[in-house]
A and B are shown apart, each in its own frame.
Chain A
Amino acid sequence: MSGHSTYVPGTAFERWLEKRLPIISLVHDSFVSFPTPKNLNYFWTFGAILSAMLGWQILTGMVLAMHYAANDAVAFASVEHIMRDVNYGWLLRYGHANGASFFFIAVYIHIFRGLYFGSYKEPREVLWILGMIIFLLMMATGFMGYVLPWGQMSFWGATVITNLFSAIPLVGSSIVTWLWGGFSVGDPTLNRFFSLHYLLPFMIAGVVILHVWALHVVGQNNPAGIEPKSTEDTVPFTPYATSKDVFATVVFFVIFAWFIFYVPNYTGDPDNYIEANPLATPAHIEPEWYFLPFYAILRSIPDKLGGVLCMFGAIAVLFVLPWLDTSKVRSATYRPLYRQFFWILVIVSVGLGWLGAQPPEGGYVIASRLFTAYYFIHFLVILPLLGLIETPKPLPTSISEAVLAKNGHQPAHT
Protein backbone atom coordinates (compact mmCIF):
# COMPACT_ATOMS: atom_id res chain seq x y z
CA MET A 1 0.00 0.00 0.00
CA SER A 2 1.31 3.46 0.73
CA GLY A 3 4.68 4.15 2.28
CA HIS A 4 8.11 3.50 0.98
CA SER A 5 8.88 0.86 -1.55
CA THR A 6 10.79 -2.14 -0.29
CA TYR A 7 12.23 -2.58 -3.75
CA VAL A 8 15.99 -2.32 -3.91
CA PRO A 9 17.31 -1.93 -7.46
CA GLY A 10 19.81 -4.69 -7.93
CA THR A 11 21.71 -3.71 -11.05
CA ALA A 12 23.04 -0.50 -12.49
CA PHE A 13 20.42 -0.68 -15.24
CA GLU A 14 17.59 -1.01 -12.71
CA ARG A 15 18.91 2.04 -10.82
CA TRP A 16 19.14 3.96 -14.09
CA LEU A 17 15.58 3.01 -15.06
CA GLU A 18 14.17 3.58 -11.59
CA LYS A 19 15.21 7.26 -11.75
CA ARG A 20 13.50 7.67 -15.10
CA LEU A 21 10.44 5.38 -14.92
CA PRO A 22 9.89 3.61 -11.60
CA ILE A 23 8.03 0.75 -13.26
CA ILE A 24 9.91 -2.13 -11.66
CA SER A 25 9.23 -0.81 -8.18
CA LEU A 26 5.56 -0.33 -9.10
CA VAL A 27 5.29 -3.97 -10.17
CA HIS A 28 7.32 -5.08 -7.16
CA ASP A 29 5.09 -3.21 -4.73
CA SER A 30 1.90 -4.39 -6.44
CA PHE A 31 2.66 -8.04 -7.07
CA VAL A 32 5.65 -9.05 -4.98
CA SER A 33 5.78 -7.33 -1.62
CA PHE A 34 2.08 -6.39 -1.56
CA PRO A 35 0.68 -7.64 1.77
CA THR A 36 -2.21 -10.09 1.35
CA PRO A 37 -4.36 -11.36 4.22
CA LYS A 38 -3.05 -14.78 5.17
CA ASN A 39 -6.49 -16.41 5.36
CA LEU A 40 -7.48 -16.04 1.69
CA ASN A 41 -9.20 -19.12 0.24
CA TYR A 42 -9.43 -20.31 -3.36
CA PHE A 43 -12.32 -17.97 -4.12
CA TRP A 44 -9.68 -15.24 -4.10
CA THR A 45 -7.91 -16.75 -7.10
CA PHE A 46 -10.62 -15.78 -9.55
CA GLY A 47 -9.18 -12.31 -10.08
CA ALA A 48 -6.07 -13.91 -11.50
CA ILE A 49 -8.17 -16.39 -13.48
CA LEU A 50 -10.20 -13.52 -14.96
CA SER A 51 -7.05 -11.67 -15.99
CA ALA A 52 -5.80 -14.82 -17.68
CA MET A 53 -9.14 -15.24 -19.48
CA LEU A 54 -9.06 -11.65 -20.73
CA GLY A 55 -5.56 -12.25 -22.07
CA TRP A 56 -6.71 -15.48 -23.70
CA GLN A 57 -9.72 -13.85 -25.37
CA ILE A 58 -7.58 -11.02 -26.74
CA LEU A 59 -4.96 -13.47 -28.01
CA THR A 60 -7.40 -15.84 -29.73
CA GLY A 61 -9.63 -12.96 -30.90
CA MET A 62 -6.72 -11.15 -32.48
CA VAL A 63 -5.75 -14.17 -34.59
CA LEU A 64 -9.37 -15.00 -35.46
CA ALA A 65 -9.67 -11.45 -36.79
CA MET A 66 -6.86 -12.27 -39.24
CA HIS A 67 -9.17 -14.78 -40.95
CA TYR A 68 -12.64 -13.48 -40.26
CA ALA A 69 -14.57 -11.18 -42.66
CA ALA A 70 -17.20 -8.85 -41.23
CA ASN A 71 -19.54 -8.72 -44.22
CA ASP A 72 -23.01 -10.19 -44.19
CA ALA A 73 -22.44 -12.00 -47.49
CA VAL A 74 -19.37 -13.90 -46.32
CA ALA A 75 -19.22 -13.75 -42.50
CA PHE A 76 -20.84 -17.15 -41.96
CA ALA A 77 -18.67 -18.74 -44.62
CA SER A 78 -15.54 -17.14 -43.19
CA VAL A 79 -16.20 -18.71 -39.79
CA GLU A 80 -16.65 -22.10 -41.49
CA HIS A 81 -13.44 -21.36 -43.37
CA ILE A 82 -11.73 -20.82 -40.02
CA MET A 83 -13.13 -24.14 -38.79
CA ARG A 84 -12.17 -26.18 -41.85
CA ASP A 85 -9.30 -24.56 -43.74
CA VAL A 86 -7.25 -22.38 -41.42
CA ASN A 87 -4.46 -24.28 -39.63
CA TYR A 88 -5.69 -24.94 -36.10
CA GLY A 89 -8.63 -22.63 -36.86
CA TRP A 90 -10.98 -25.04 -35.06
CA LEU A 91 -8.85 -24.75 -31.94
CA LEU A 92 -8.75 -20.98 -32.06
CA ARG A 93 -12.47 -20.60 -32.63
CA TYR A 94 -13.53 -23.22 -30.09
CA GLY A 95 -11.03 -21.68 -27.69
CA HIS A 96 -12.52 -18.24 -28.20
CA ALA A 97 -16.19 -19.31 -28.11
CA ASN A 98 -15.76 -21.48 -25.00
CA GLY A 99 -13.45 -18.83 -23.60
CA ALA A 100 -16.39 -16.46 -23.42
CA SER A 101 -18.35 -19.03 -21.40
CA PHE A 102 -15.47 -19.66 -19.02
CA PHE A 103 -14.86 -15.95 -18.68
CA PHE A 104 -18.45 -15.62 -17.46
CA ILE A 105 -18.22 -18.67 -15.17
CA ALA A 106 -15.23 -17.01 -13.53
CA VAL A 107 -16.86 -13.59 -13.27
CA TYR A 108 -20.03 -15.01 -11.70
CA ILE A 109 -18.00 -16.91 -9.09
CA HIS A 110 -15.98 -13.74 -8.48
CA ILE A 111 -19.14 -11.65 -8.02
CA PHE A 112 -20.85 -14.15 -5.71
CA ARG A 113 -17.61 -14.35 -3.71
CA GLY A 114 -17.94 -10.59 -3.22
CA LEU A 115 -21.59 -10.96 -2.20
CA TYR A 116 -20.83 -13.67 0.35
CA PHE A 117 -17.86 -12.01 2.00
CA GLY A 118 -19.21 -8.45 1.80
CA SER A 119 -16.38 -7.25 -0.41
CA TYR A 120 -18.51 -4.37 -1.70
CA LYS A 121 -18.71 -2.67 1.70
CA GLU A 122 -16.90 0.44 2.86
CA PRO A 123 -14.13 1.21 1.86
CA ARG A 124 -14.41 -0.97 -1.28
CA GLU A 125 -17.42 0.72 -2.97
CA VAL A 126 -15.43 2.18 -5.87
CA LEU A 127 -13.63 -1.11 -6.36
CA TRP A 128 -17.00 -2.86 -6.54
CA ILE A 129 -18.49 -0.35 -8.99
CA LEU A 130 -15.44 -0.65 -11.26
CA GLY A 131 -16.04 -4.39 -11.20
CA MET A 132 -19.65 -3.85 -12.24
CA ILE A 133 -18.50 -1.65 -15.14
CA ILE A 134 -16.21 -4.48 -16.25
CA PHE A 135 -19.16 -6.87 -16.02
CA LEU A 136 -21.30 -4.57 -18.23
CA LEU A 137 -18.49 -4.20 -20.77
CA MET A 138 -18.05 -7.99 -20.80
CA MET A 139 -21.74 -8.45 -21.51
CA ALA A 140 -21.60 -5.96 -24.38
CA THR A 141 -18.48 -7.65 -25.77
CA GLY A 142 -19.93 -11.17 -25.47
CA PHE A 143 -23.18 -10.08 -27.09
CA MET A 144 -21.48 -8.42 -30.07
CA GLY A 145 -19.03 -11.30 -30.47
CA TYR A 146 -21.89 -13.75 -30.69
CA VAL A 147 -23.33 -11.77 -33.62
CA LEU A 148 -20.14 -12.14 -35.68
CA PRO A 149 -20.55 -15.76 -36.91
CA TRP A 150 -23.82 -14.54 -38.49
CA GLY A 151 -25.88 -17.64 -37.76
CA GLN A 152 -29.59 -17.67 -37.02
CA MET A 153 -29.05 -17.12 -33.28
CA SER A 154 -26.55 -14.35 -34.00
CA PHE A 155 -29.05 -12.56 -36.18
CA TRP A 156 -32.17 -13.02 -34.08
CA GLY A 157 -30.34 -12.47 -30.81
CA ALA A 158 -29.06 -9.18 -32.23
CA THR A 159 -32.57 -8.28 -33.41
CA VAL A 160 -34.25 -8.95 -30.07
CA ILE A 161 -31.56 -7.29 -27.96
CA THR A 162 -31.24 -4.14 -30.08
CA ASN A 163 -35.03 -3.92 -30.12
CA LEU A 164 -34.94 -3.56 -26.33
CA PHE A 165 -34.10 0.08 -26.99
CA SER A 166 -37.32 0.53 -28.94
CA ALA A 167 -39.10 0.38 -25.59
CA ILE A 168 -37.78 3.87 -24.81
CA PRO A 169 -40.70 6.28 -25.25
CA LEU A 170 -40.66 8.70 -28.23
CA VAL A 171 -37.07 8.26 -29.45
CA GLY A 172 -36.88 4.46 -29.12
CA SER A 173 -37.31 3.46 -32.74
CA SER A 174 -34.97 6.21 -34.02
CA ILE A 175 -32.32 4.91 -31.63
CA VAL A 176 -32.76 1.39 -32.95
CA THR A 177 -32.44 2.53 -36.58
CA TRP A 178 -29.30 4.41 -35.58
CA LEU A 179 -27.87 1.33 -33.86
CA TRP A 180 -28.59 -0.80 -36.93
CA GLY A 181 -27.47 1.69 -39.55
CA GLY A 182 -30.45 0.52 -41.55
CA PHE A 183 -34.03 -0.58 -41.18
CA SER A 184 -33.16 -3.98 -39.79
CA VAL A 185 -30.10 -5.80 -38.50
CA GLY A 186 -27.84 -6.08 -41.54
CA ASP A 187 -24.38 -5.57 -42.95
CA PRO A 188 -23.79 -2.14 -41.34
CA THR A 189 -24.79 -3.64 -37.98
CA LEU A 190 -22.37 -6.54 -38.38
CA ASN A 191 -19.54 -4.21 -39.31
CA ARG A 192 -19.95 -1.88 -36.37
CA PHE A 193 -20.34 -4.77 -33.98
CA PHE A 194 -17.04 -6.18 -35.20
CA SER A 195 -15.35 -2.83 -34.70
CA LEU A 196 -16.74 -2.54 -31.17
CA HIS A 197 -16.09 -6.19 -30.38
CA TYR A 198 -12.44 -5.55 -31.12
CA LEU A 199 -12.37 -2.32 -29.12
CA LEU A 200 -14.25 -3.17 -25.93
CA PRO A 201 -11.84 -5.81 -24.57
CA PHE A 202 -9.14 -3.15 -24.50
CA MET A 203 -11.48 -0.85 -22.63
CA ILE A 204 -12.04 -3.74 -20.23
CA ALA A 205 -8.28 -4.00 -19.82
CA GLY A 206 -8.19 -0.29 -18.95
CA VAL A 207 -10.92 -0.61 -16.34
CA VAL A 208 -9.17 -3.71 -14.94
CA ILE A 209 -6.14 -1.52 -14.28
CA LEU A 210 -8.34 0.94 -12.35
CA HIS A 211 -9.96 -2.00 -10.52
CA VAL A 212 -6.58 -3.36 -9.43
CA TRP A 213 -5.41 0.12 -8.53
CA ALA A 214 -8.44 0.61 -6.29
CA LEU A 215 -7.81 -2.83 -4.80
CA HIS A 216 -4.28 -1.89 -3.93
CA VAL A 217 -5.37 1.33 -2.28
CA VAL A 218 -7.90 -0.28 0.08
CA GLY A 219 -6.33 -3.74 0.31
CA GLN A 220 -7.98 -7.11 -0.16
CA ASN A 221 -10.99 -8.24 1.79
CA ASN A 222 -10.72 -11.75 3.25
CA PRO A 223 -12.95 -14.58 4.49
CA ALA A 224 -13.11 -13.10 8.00
CA GLY A 225 -14.13 -9.71 6.59
CA ILE A 226 -11.95 -7.80 9.06
CA GLU A 227 -9.01 -5.59 8.19
CA PRO A 228 -5.46 -6.84 8.82
CA LYS A 229 -4.21 -5.28 12.05
CA SER A 230 -0.51 -6.13 11.97
CA THR A 231 2.06 -7.77 9.74
CA GLU A 232 1.12 -10.97 11.65
CA ASP A 233 -2.10 -11.00 9.63
CA THR A 234 -0.57 -10.73 6.17
CA VAL A 235 1.88 -12.52 3.94
CA PRO A 236 3.68 -11.06 0.91
CA PHE A 237 1.88 -11.50 -2.42
CA THR A 238 4.87 -13.37 -3.81
CA PRO A 239 5.28 -16.27 -3.34
CA TYR A 240 2.08 -16.95 -1.35
CA ALA A 241 -0.68 -15.46 -3.51
CA THR A 242 1.20 -15.84 -6.78
CA SER A 243 1.68 -19.58 -6.38
CA LYS A 244 -1.90 -20.13 -5.29
CA ASP A 245 -3.16 -18.02 -8.22
CA VAL A 246 -1.02 -19.88 -10.73
CA PHE A 247 -2.13 -23.25 -9.38
CA ALA A 248 -5.83 -22.31 -9.52
CA THR A 249 -5.45 -20.83 -13.01
CA VAL A 250 -3.85 -24.01 -14.29
CA VAL A 251 -6.64 -26.16 -12.80
CA PHE A 252 -9.23 -23.82 -14.33
CA PHE A 253 -7.57 -24.04 -17.75
CA VAL A 254 -7.45 -27.85 -17.54
CA ILE A 255 -11.23 -27.92 -17.13
CA PHE A 256 -11.55 -25.29 -19.85
CA ALA A 257 -9.37 -27.40 -22.16
CA TRP A 258 -11.60 -30.40 -21.52
CA PHE A 259 -14.52 -28.40 -22.88
CA ILE A 260 -12.57 -27.19 -25.92
CA PHE A 261 -11.42 -30.69 -26.86
CA TYR A 262 -14.33 -32.91 -25.82
CA VAL A 263 -17.56 -30.89 -25.77
CA PRO A 264 -16.75 -27.76 -27.81
CA ASN A 265 -20.36 -27.10 -28.75
CA TYR A 266 -21.88 -27.83 -25.37
CA THR A 267 -22.52 -24.20 -24.48
CA GLY A 268 -23.47 -23.22 -28.04
CA ASP A 269 -26.78 -23.38 -29.85
CA PRO A 270 -27.06 -25.68 -32.89
CA ASP A 271 -29.23 -23.09 -34.67
CA ASN A 272 -26.17 -20.89 -34.95
CA TYR A 273 -24.75 -23.30 -37.52
CA ILE A 274 -27.60 -22.20 -39.85
CA GLU A 275 -26.79 -19.02 -41.74
CA ALA A 276 -28.73 -15.90 -40.77
CA ASN A 277 -32.06 -15.60 -42.54
CA PRO A 278 -33.78 -12.23 -42.09
CA LEU A 279 -37.10 -13.69 -43.24
CA ALA A 280 -37.47 -16.59 -40.78
CA THR A 281 -37.20 -16.55 -37.01
CA PRO A 282 -36.22 -19.87 -35.40
CA ALA A 283 -39.04 -21.40 -33.36
CA HIS A 284 -37.15 -21.06 -30.11
CA ILE A 285 -34.70 -18.26 -29.58
CA GLU A 286 -32.61 -17.83 -26.50
CA PRO A 287 -29.39 -16.00 -25.69
CA GLU A 288 -26.13 -17.56 -24.54
CA TRP A 289 -26.40 -19.16 -21.09
CA TYR A 290 -24.68 -16.28 -19.32
CA PHE A 291 -27.51 -13.90 -20.23
CA LEU A 292 -30.36 -16.25 -19.34
CA PRO A 293 -31.17 -14.94 -15.83
CA PHE A 294 -31.57 -11.44 -17.24
CA TYR A 295 -33.54 -12.76 -20.20
CA ALA A 296 -35.91 -14.56 -17.81
CA ILE A 297 -36.49 -11.28 -15.95
CA LEU A 298 -37.20 -9.49 -19.25
CA ARG A 299 -39.76 -12.07 -20.29
CA SER A 300 -41.45 -12.38 -16.93
CA ILE A 301 -42.90 -8.84 -17.16
CA PRO A 302 -45.97 -8.68 -19.43
CA ASP A 303 -45.20 -5.10 -20.45
CA LYS A 304 -42.51 -4.20 -22.98
CA LEU A 305 -41.04 -1.11 -21.29
CA GLY A 306 -41.49 -2.65 -17.85
CA GLY A 307 -39.61 -5.78 -18.88
CA VAL A 308 -36.70 -3.78 -20.26
CA LEU A 309 -36.56 -1.60 -17.14
CA CYS A 310 -36.55 -4.62 -14.83
CA MET A 311 -33.80 -6.27 -16.83
CA PHE A 312 -31.53 -3.25 -16.56
CA GLY A 313 -32.71 -2.75 -12.98
CA ALA A 314 -31.40 -6.21 -12.08
CA ILE A 315 -27.91 -4.92 -12.84
CA ALA A 316 -28.53 -1.45 -11.43
CA VAL A 317 -29.28 -2.83 -7.96
CA LEU A 318 -25.83 -4.41 -7.97
CA PHE A 319 -24.28 -1.00 -8.62
CA VAL A 320 -25.90 0.53 -5.53
CA LEU A 321 -25.49 -2.58 -3.41
CA PRO A 322 -22.93 -0.96 -1.07
CA TRP A 323 -25.67 1.42 0.06
CA LEU A 324 -28.48 -1.14 0.19
CA ASP A 325 -26.75 -3.45 2.65
CA THR A 326 -27.01 -1.75 6.04
CA SER A 327 -24.93 -4.27 7.97
CA LYS A 328 -21.43 -3.24 8.98
CA VAL A 329 -20.31 -6.86 9.24
CA ARG A 330 -18.77 -7.98 5.97
CA SER A 331 -18.36 -11.72 5.99
CA ALA A 332 -21.42 -13.97 5.87
CA THR A 333 -19.51 -16.30 8.20
CA TYR A 334 -20.52 -13.98 11.04
CA ARG A 335 -24.01 -13.21 9.71
CA PRO A 336 -26.25 -16.20 10.46
CA LEU A 337 -29.33 -14.81 8.69
CA TYR A 338 -27.62 -13.21 5.73
CA ARG A 339 -25.83 -16.47 5.07
CA GLN A 340 -29.16 -18.21 4.47
CA PHE A 341 -30.53 -15.43 2.30
CA PHE A 342 -27.31 -15.51 0.30
CA TRP A 343 -27.87 -19.14 -0.62
CA ILE A 344 -31.50 -18.47 -1.47
CA LEU A 345 -30.30 -15.73 -3.83
CA VAL A 346 -27.87 -18.17 -5.46
CA ILE A 347 -30.69 -20.67 -6.00
CA VAL A 348 -33.02 -17.95 -7.33
CA SER A 349 -30.36 -16.64 -9.74
CA VAL A 350 -29.55 -20.11 -11.08
CA GLY A 351 -33.29 -20.83 -11.21
CA LEU A 352 -33.86 -17.70 -13.29
CA GLY A 353 -31.14 -18.89 -15.63
CA TRP A 354 -32.91 -22.21 -16.06
CA LEU A 355 -36.27 -20.50 -16.59
CA GLY A 356 -34.76 -18.21 -19.22
CA ALA A 357 -34.21 -21.27 -21.41
CA GLN A 358 -37.77 -22.59 -21.05
CA PRO A 359 -40.63 -21.64 -23.37
CA PRO A 360 -42.49 -18.54 -22.13
CA GLU A 361 -45.73 -20.23 -21.17
CA GLY A 362 -47.77 -21.62 -18.28
CA GLY A 363 -45.98 -22.49 -15.06
CA TYR A 364 -42.64 -21.24 -16.34
CA VAL A 365 -44.02 -17.71 -16.61
CA ILE A 366 -45.45 -17.84 -13.09
CA ALA A 367 -42.18 -19.20 -11.69
CA SER A 368 -40.20 -16.51 -13.54
CA ARG A 369 -42.40 -13.83 -12.02
CA LEU A 370 -41.96 -15.17 -8.49
CA PHE A 371 -38.21 -15.51 -8.90
CA THR A 372 -37.92 -12.03 -10.45
CA ALA A 373 -39.89 -10.56 -7.57
CA TYR A 374 -37.69 -12.37 -5.05
CA TYR A 375 -34.51 -11.17 -6.76
CA PHE A 376 -35.54 -7.55 -6.27
CA ILE A 377 -36.92 -8.15 -2.78
CA HIS A 378 -33.57 -9.58 -1.76
CA PHE A 379 -31.73 -6.42 -2.67
CA LEU A 380 -34.34 -3.77 -1.98
CA VAL A 381 -36.06 -5.13 1.13
CA ILE A 382 -34.19 -7.99 2.77
CA LEU A 383 -30.70 -6.50 2.67
CA PRO A 384 -31.64 -3.09 4.13
CA LEU A 385 -33.75 -4.70 6.89
CA LEU A 386 -31.35 -7.50 7.73
CA GLY A 387 -28.64 -5.11 8.87
CA LEU A 388 -31.10 -3.67 11.38
CA ILE A 389 -32.57 -6.86 12.83
CA GLU A 390 -29.77 -9.40 12.60
CA THR A 391 -27.42 -10.04 15.54
CA PRO A 392 -24.05 -10.93 14.05
CA LYS A 393 -21.80 -13.48 15.71
CA PRO A 394 -18.85 -11.97 17.60
CA LEU A 395 -16.06 -11.03 15.21
CA PRO A 396 -12.56 -12.35 15.83
CA THR A 397 -10.18 -9.65 17.02
CA SER A 398 -7.72 -10.37 14.24
CA ILE A 399 -7.22 -12.46 11.13
CA SER A 400 -4.64 -14.55 13.02
CA GLU A 401 -7.21 -15.30 15.69
CA ALA A 402 -9.77 -16.27 13.04
CA VAL A 403 -7.29 -18.65 11.45
CA LEU A 404 -6.43 -20.22 14.81
CA ALA A 405 -10.06 -20.52 15.85
CA LYS A 406 -10.76 -22.42 12.67
CA ASN A 407 -7.76 -24.74 12.76
CA GLY A 408 -6.60 -24.53 16.38
CA HIS A 409 -8.49 -27.51 17.76
CA GLN A 410 -7.04 -29.76 15.11
CA PRO A 411 -3.50 -31.08 15.24
CA ALA A 412 -1.22 -28.42 13.84
CA HIS A 413 0.60 -30.86 11.60
CA THR A 414 -0.69 -33.90 9.82
Chain B
Amino acid sequence: MATTTHDTPEPSRRDFLTIATIATGAVGVGSLAWPFIDQMEPDASALALSSIEVDISQIQPGQIVTVKWRGKPVFIRNRTDKEMAELKNTPPGDMKDPQPDSARVKKGHENLLVVVGVCTHLGCIPLGHSGSFDGWFCPCHGSVYDASGRIRKGPAPLNLAVPEYAFLNDKTIKIG
Protein backbone atom coordinates (compact mmCIF):
# COMPACT_ATOMS: atom_id res chain seq x y z
CA MET B 1 0.00 0.00 0.00
CA ALA B 2 0.93 3.62 -0.26
CA THR B 3 1.24 3.95 3.51
CA THR B 4 4.71 2.50 3.88
CA THR B 5 5.96 5.64 5.67
CA HIS B 6 3.43 5.13 8.48
CA ASP B 7 3.61 2.44 11.09
CA THR B 8 -0.14 2.18 11.40
CA PRO B 9 -2.32 1.20 8.42
CA GLU B 10 -3.96 4.65 8.52
CA PRO B 11 -5.91 5.30 5.34
CA SER B 12 -3.92 7.69 3.23
CA ARG B 13 -4.99 10.54 1.01
CA ARG B 14 -4.45 8.22 -1.96
CA ASP B 15 -6.75 5.55 -0.48
CA PHE B 16 -9.42 8.17 -0.08
CA LEU B 17 -9.01 9.33 -3.68
CA THR B 18 -9.13 5.76 -4.99
CA ILE B 19 -12.28 4.88 -3.11
CA ALA B 20 -14.00 8.17 -3.91
CA THR B 21 -13.18 7.83 -7.60
CA ILE B 22 -14.39 4.26 -7.83
CA ALA B 23 -17.56 5.05 -5.87
CA THR B 24 -18.43 8.10 -7.96
CA GLY B 25 -17.68 6.22 -11.16
CA ALA B 26 -19.79 3.24 -10.11
CA VAL B 27 -22.76 5.39 -9.17
CA GLY B 28 -22.43 7.28 -12.45
CA VAL B 29 -22.22 4.15 -14.60
CA GLY B 30 -24.98 2.46 -12.62
CA SER B 31 -27.42 5.33 -12.92
CA LEU B 32 -26.56 5.91 -16.58
CA ALA B 33 -27.21 2.24 -17.35
CA TRP B 34 -30.84 2.63 -16.38
CA PRO B 35 -31.88 5.05 -19.17
CA PHE B 36 -30.18 2.75 -21.66
CA ILE B 37 -32.19 -0.21 -20.41
CA ASP B 38 -35.44 1.63 -19.82
CA GLN B 39 -35.59 3.20 -23.29
CA MET B 40 -36.52 -0.24 -24.58
CA GLU B 41 -39.72 -0.39 -22.51
CA PRO B 42 -43.03 0.45 -24.23
CA ASP B 43 -42.97 4.22 -24.81
CA ALA B 44 -45.63 6.83 -24.01
CA SER B 45 -47.31 6.43 -27.38
CA ALA B 46 -47.60 2.67 -26.94
CA LEU B 47 -49.08 3.15 -23.48
CA ALA B 48 -51.49 5.81 -24.75
CA LEU B 49 -53.10 3.21 -27.00
CA SER B 50 -53.63 0.91 -24.12
CA SER B 51 -57.40 1.08 -23.71
CA ILE B 52 -60.28 0.69 -26.19
CA GLU B 53 -64.07 0.75 -26.05
CA VAL B 54 -66.11 -1.92 -27.83
CA ASP B 55 -69.80 -2.11 -28.63
CA ILE B 56 -70.90 -5.62 -27.73
CA SER B 57 -74.63 -5.33 -28.40
CA GLN B 58 -74.36 -6.74 -31.93
CA ILE B 59 -72.49 -9.93 -31.02
CA GLN B 60 -74.86 -12.84 -31.63
CA PRO B 61 -74.92 -15.98 -29.45
CA GLY B 62 -72.22 -18.33 -30.73
CA GLN B 63 -70.30 -15.53 -32.40
CA ILE B 64 -66.67 -14.62 -31.70
CA VAL B 65 -65.56 -11.09 -32.50
CA THR B 66 -61.88 -10.21 -32.68
CA VAL B 67 -60.75 -6.71 -31.81
CA LYS B 68 -57.24 -5.33 -31.71
CA TRP B 69 -55.92 -4.12 -28.37
CA ARG B 70 -52.30 -3.18 -27.75
CA GLY B 71 -51.38 -4.78 -31.07
CA LYS B 72 -52.89 -8.09 -30.05
CA PRO B 73 -56.23 -9.69 -30.86
CA VAL B 74 -58.85 -9.88 -28.13
CA PHE B 75 -61.60 -12.46 -28.59
CA ILE B 76 -65.09 -11.49 -27.42
CA ARG B 77 -67.32 -14.53 -27.44
CA ASN B 78 -71.03 -14.57 -26.81
CA ARG B 79 -71.51 -18.11 -25.63
CA THR B 80 -74.66 -20.11 -26.33
CA ASP B 81 -76.76 -21.58 -23.54
CA LYS B 82 -75.61 -25.04 -24.61
CA GLU B 83 -71.97 -24.04 -24.22
CA MET B 84 -72.75 -22.50 -20.84
CA ALA B 85 -74.42 -25.69 -19.65
CA GLU B 86 -71.45 -27.75 -20.75
CA LEU B 87 -69.00 -25.48 -18.96
CA LYS B 88 -71.08 -25.68 -15.77
CA ASN B 89 -70.87 -29.47 -15.90
CA THR B 90 -67.06 -29.65 -16.15
CA PRO B 91 -65.36 -29.30 -12.79
CA PRO B 92 -62.00 -27.50 -13.24
CA GLY B 93 -60.30 -29.86 -10.79
CA ASP B 94 -57.92 -31.77 -13.08
CA MET B 95 -57.17 -28.93 -15.47
CA LYS B 96 -53.65 -27.65 -15.96
CA ASP B 97 -54.60 -24.16 -14.81
CA PRO B 98 -57.75 -24.84 -12.76
CA GLN B 99 -60.20 -21.96 -12.75
CA PRO B 100 -64.01 -22.03 -12.69
CA ASP B 101 -65.70 -20.34 -15.63
CA SER B 102 -67.40 -17.93 -13.23
CA ALA B 103 -63.99 -16.49 -12.27
CA ARG B 104 -63.35 -15.58 -15.91
CA VAL B 105 -66.46 -13.48 -16.62
CA LYS B 106 -68.28 -10.50 -15.08
CA LYS B 107 -71.30 -11.06 -12.85
CA GLY B 108 -74.54 -10.51 -14.69
CA HIS B 109 -72.83 -10.99 -18.06
CA GLU B 110 -71.85 -14.64 -17.70
CA ASN B 111 -72.38 -15.38 -21.39
CA LEU B 112 -69.77 -12.91 -22.51
CA LEU B 113 -66.18 -14.12 -22.48
CA VAL B 114 -63.36 -11.63 -23.14
CA VAL B 115 -59.89 -13.12 -23.55
CA VAL B 116 -56.59 -12.09 -25.08
CA GLY B 117 -56.28 -14.12 -28.28
CA VAL B 118 -52.67 -15.07 -27.77
CA CYS B 119 -51.68 -18.65 -27.08
CA THR B 120 -49.95 -18.82 -23.70
CA HIS B 121 -47.40 -21.21 -25.14
CA LEU B 122 -45.37 -19.12 -27.58
CA GLY B 123 -47.79 -16.47 -28.73
CA CYS B 124 -49.56 -17.72 -31.87
CA ILE B 125 -53.21 -16.91 -32.46
CA PRO B 126 -55.58 -19.81 -31.80
CA LEU B 127 -58.45 -20.57 -34.19
CA GLY B 128 -61.99 -20.19 -32.83
CA HIS B 129 -64.66 -22.90 -32.73
CA SER B 130 -62.09 -25.62 -33.22
CA GLY B 131 -60.31 -28.27 -31.22
CA SER B 132 -61.84 -31.13 -29.29
CA PHE B 133 -63.43 -28.82 -26.69
CA ASP B 134 -65.12 -26.53 -29.22
CA GLY B 135 -63.14 -23.62 -27.86
CA TRP B 136 -59.91 -22.71 -29.59
CA PHE B 137 -57.12 -24.65 -31.22
CA CYS B 138 -53.61 -23.29 -31.68
CA PRO B 139 -52.09 -24.43 -34.98
CA CYS B 140 -48.50 -23.79 -33.92
CA HIS B 141 -47.86 -26.57 -31.44
CA GLY B 142 -51.33 -27.96 -30.90
CA SER B 143 -52.71 -26.40 -27.70
CA VAL B 144 -56.44 -26.92 -27.18
CA TYR B 145 -58.63 -24.47 -25.21
CA ASP B 146 -62.27 -24.83 -24.17
CA ALA B 147 -65.12 -22.33 -24.57
CA SER B 148 -63.90 -20.59 -21.43
CA GLY B 149 -60.44 -20.18 -22.94
CA ARG B 150 -58.98 -22.64 -20.45
CA ILE B 151 -56.06 -24.81 -21.51
CA ARG B 152 -57.15 -28.44 -21.78
CA LYS B 153 -54.47 -30.14 -23.89
CA GLY B 154 -51.05 -29.35 -25.37
CA PRO B 155 -47.92 -27.48 -24.33
CA ALA B 156 -49.45 -24.14 -23.28
CA PRO B 157 -49.14 -23.72 -19.51
CA LEU B 158 -51.92 -21.20 -18.79
CA ASN B 159 -55.48 -20.30 -19.71
CA LEU B 160 -56.01 -17.55 -22.29
CA ALA B 161 -55.60 -14.35 -20.28
CA VAL B 162 -58.64 -12.31 -19.32
CA PRO B 163 -57.66 -8.67 -19.87
CA GLU B 164 -58.65 -5.94 -17.49
CA TYR B 165 -62.07 -4.73 -18.70
CA ALA B 166 -65.27 -3.18 -17.40
CA PHE B 167 -68.83 -2.66 -18.57
CA LEU B 168 -69.39 1.05 -19.15
CA ASN B 169 -73.06 0.28 -19.76
CA ASP B 170 -75.00 -2.73 -21.01
CA LYS B 171 -73.82 -2.18 -24.58
CA THR B 172 -70.21 -1.14 -24.20
CA ILE B 173 -67.12 -2.53 -22.57
CA LYS B 174 -63.82 -0.79 -22.02
CA ILE B 175 -60.74 -2.99 -22.35
CA GLY B 176 -57.54 -1.85 -20.63
A contacts, CB < 8 Å to B: 156, 159-160, 162-164, 166, 177-186, 188, 192, 278-281, 283-285, 299, 302-304, 307, 360-361
Contact = CB atoms under 8 A, between A and B. Distances in A.
Contact of B42 (A182, A192, A360): A182
Given A160-B140, A182-B46, A182-B71, A279 B125 contact: yes
B50 to A, nearest CB: 8
A181 B40 contact: yes
Interface stretch (B15-23, B55-63, B84-92, B116-124): B116-124
B100 interface: no
B139 A281 contact: yes
B47 to A, nearest CB: 9
A341 to B, nearest CB: 31
Given A278-B68, A299-B141, A181 B123 contact: no
B124 A281 contact: yes
B122 A163 contact: yes
A166 B118 CA distance: 13
Contact of B156 (A181, A283, A304): A304
A360 B37 CA distance: 37
19 contacts: A156-B124, A160-B122, A163-B122, A164-B122, A177-B41, A178-B37, A178-B41, A181-B40, A181-B41, A182-B42, A182-B70, A183-B72, A184-B118, A185-B71, A279-B66, A279-B73, A279-B125, A284-B139, A304-B155
A192 B37 CA distance: 13
Interface string B119-144: 00111110000000000000111100
Contacts of B40: 178-179, 181, 188, 192
Nearest to A361: B142
B7 interface: no
Residue of B37, B70, B71 with most partner-chain A CB within 10 A: B71
Contact of A181 (B43, B141, B155, B157): B43
A266 B148 CA distance: 42
A188 B157 contact: no
Nearest to A164: B122
Interface string B151-171: 000011100000000000000
